[in-house]
Structure 1
Amino acid sequence: MIKVDKLGSKAIANITYDDSPSFSGIVAGECKGDMWVDDVENPNIALVASFAVGGFSILGESTNIEVYSKFKTFMIENMFCWLKSRGVDFFEFSFESEKARPFILEIFSNKAIQTEDEYSFRKNDRYSENIIIPDGYEIIKAEYTALYRVVDCLLILTDGYHQENSF
C-alpha cells in the first residue's frame, strides 16, 4: 500500500462511491485525511482515514484475492503497529462494497468486532424556484459571494464592518 495525497480522476472513479462524501472528498484531495492505495494509477482498494469522522473507510473492491491478501499484510505489519505506536488500541472502520465485505471481515476474523447501524439521509432533489420559505429566510447558492453575504450579516449583528476582499 502506498500513501498518497490525491489521485487522478480515473483512479478516483475506481474506488469512490456517491453515497460516501466524507471519504470521497479525501480521495479527491478536497478534504483533510490520509489515504493509502494498492496502486496509484489503477487502485483496487484504498484505506482512507478521516479526521472529521474519526475513523477509517475501506474503499474499492477486487475479484483478485491477492489484493486482499496484500491489504491484510499491510494492516497487520504497518497500520496496526503505527496506530499502537500512537497509543491507539482500536481500529474503527467502515466499508461500502458488499462484494468486498467477506474479504475485509476475514482480515479481522481473529478480533472482536463491535458493529452498529449508521443511518444517513441524502436528498437529491434540486431547489425549485416555487418553494415557499418562511419570512426572514432566503435560499442562496453556496459559493464565494455567498460567504461575503454571511460575513456581512454577522458583522451587522456584531456592529462590525466588512470591506470587499479583506480576507
Structure 2
Amino acid sequence: MIKIEKGNMQIAERLVTFETCPSFSGILCGNSAGKIWVDEIENPHFAIVYSAPVGSFGVLGRVKNDIEYNLLVEFIQNELFQQLKESGETDFEFSADDLELEQRLLKTFEKNKIVQDQEIYFVYENKKPTINIPIKNYSFRQVDKECIEEDFKNKEFLMDKIFESWGTAESYLKMGVAFIATNENKIIGIIMGSSNYNDVLPIDIEIIEEYRQLGIASELTKYFLNYCFEQRKVAYWNCITSNIASQRLAEKAGFKCIGKNYYYYFSM
C-alpha cells in the first residue's frame, strides 16, 4: 500500500460510492485533512482512509482478487497496527463500503473478538431558514479570519478542531464553515463542517460539558443549517444508534434519516 499526502478528485471519482461517508470522500478528493493509502497511484482499486473527526478508518473500493486482498490485510496487520500502537492506540476501528470485502475482513480478524456497532445517517433537505432565538449570556458567530485571530481564553478548542478537520487555517477558510458559541471570552461550543465533498458537509459538533442541556447545540445547529440553505449546501449528520440525544437533536432540527451502516472495532 502506498501513502499519499493529499487526495484528488480523480481518485475520489474512482472509489467513492453512494455508501461512502462524506468525511472519507472529502479526504479522498483532497478537500479536507486525513490519511490515505492506496494500492496503486494511477488507477487505484481500493484505499484506506483515516478521518480524525470520525475517529475511524474507511476501506473504500473493491479488491479484484486474492493477491489484492492479501496486500490489504498484510498492510493492516504489519504496518497500520504498528503505527497505531506507536501512537498509543489499542483498538482498530473500521468500516467498508463493499459488503463482500467487509465480510472477508470480518472473517480474517474474527479471532480478535470484533465488536459491532451501528451508525445512523441524516441529511437536511434544503428547507426554509430556521429562526435563531437569542440565549441570554451567550453569543453566536461564524468562524472567519477575524474570529480565528481573536484571543479567546480557550482558543485551542477552536484551533484543534480546525487542524483536525482541515490541516491548516488557510484550508479551513477556503473550504470550511463553522460557528461558535461564546460566554464572555470563552468558546463553549463549536459546530463545524468537518469536510466537503460535492457540497455535502458532515457535521462535527461539541459543547463543553458544563454548558450542555442549555439549548446551545440546537442553536448552533440552526446557524449551520441557515448557512447551508443560503449557500445551497447539504448538511450531513451521523451518530451511533445508541446516542439517542444526538438522534433527537438531528430530528428536532429537521434532519431526515437516510440509512444505517455497521462499523467494527477490536483490540490489536
Q: Same fold (TM over 0.5)?
A: yes
Q: 1:10 to 1:133 in 2, by over 3 A?
A: closer
Between Structure 1 and Structure 2, which shows a larger proportion of helix residues? Answer: 2
Unaligned runs of 5+ in 1: 144-167
In structure 2, the partner of 1:9 is 9
Compute the displacement of 1:55 (Å). 1.3
Q: After the TM superposition, which residues 128-167 of structure 1 pair with which residues of structure 2 at under 5 Å, given as runs? A: 131=128, 139-141=229-231
* TM score, norm. by length of structure 2: 0.47
In structure 2, the partner of 1:18 is 18
Q: C-alpha separation between the residues in 2 aligned to 1:122 and 1:107? A: 34
Aligned partner of 1:15: which letter? L
Q: Is the 8 A contact 2:49 2:57 kept in 1?
A: yes
Q: 1:140 to 1:70 in 2, by over 3 A?
A: same
Q: After the TM superposition, which residues 74-113 of structure 1 pair with which residues of structure 2 at under 5 Å, given as runs? A: 74-113=75-114
Aligned partner of 1:53: which letter? V
Q: Is the 8 A contact 2:62 2:98 kept in 1?
A: yes
Q: 1:112 to 1:29 in 2, by over 3 A?
A: same
Q: C-alpha separation between the residues in 1 aligned to 2:14 and 2:59? A: 13
Aligned partner of 1:70: which letter? L
How many residues align structurally? 139
1:71 aligns with 2:72: yes
4+ residue segments displaced more than 4 Å: 131-139
Q: C-alpha separation between the residues in 2 aligned to 1:17 and 1:63? A: 17
Q: 1:134 to 1:103 in 2, by over 3 A?
A: same
Between Structure 1 and Structure 2, which shows a larger proportion of strand residues? Answer: 2
Q: 1:18 to 1:86 in 2, by over 3 A?
A: same
* TM score, norm. by length of structure 1: 0.72
Q: Is the 8 A contact 2:11 2:28 kept in 1?
A: no
Larger Rg: 1
In structure 1, the partner of 2:28 is 27
Helix, strand or coil for the counterpart of 2:37?
strand
Unaligned runs of 5+ in 2: 134-221, 234-268
Q: C-alpha separation between the residues in 1 aligned to 2:12 and 2:129? A: 38
Helix, strand or coil for the counterpart of 2:73?
helix
Helix, strand or coil for the counterpart of 2:117?
coil
Identity %: 30
Q: C-alpha separation between the residues in 2 aligned to 1:82 and 1:35? A: 14
Compute the displacement of 1:18 (Å). 3.3
Aligned partner of 2:17: which letter? Y
Question: Which one has more relative contact order, counting CA pairs under 8 Å at least 6 apart?
Answer: 2
In structure 2, the partner of 1:40 is 41
